[in-house]
Amino acid sequence: ARFSGFTLGSNWFLTPAVKLTADWTYNFDSLAAGGFQSNGIGLRRDRSGEVGQWALRGQLQLLF
């Protein structure tokens, strides 16, 4: 199965040593097909008949 989706994200530098990252991903098709393997973007296999899965991720990075 192929991933058919859309991702929108942004980075915010709160200070030169602190970065906040956020992204939102939406998958248009079902991920129920056996060929899909999770690739770390936060999506999981759908149950039969489900579509439209989304994931919201955030990350805070500190440099010290």
pLDDT tens per residue across all 64 residues of the chain: 567 788 999 999 999 999 999 999 888 877 766 555 566 666 777 777 777 788 899 999 999 8
CB 53 within 8 Å of CB 43: yes
Residue numbers of the domain that contains 19: 5-62
| Adjacent-strand bridge partners of 13 | 19
For residue 31, count other CB atoms closer than 10 A to its CB.
21
3-state secondary structure at position 22: strand
Q: Which residues contact 33 (CB under 8 A, 6 or more apart)?
A: 1
Q: What is the pLDDT of residue 17?
A: 97
Our count of domains for the chain comes to 1
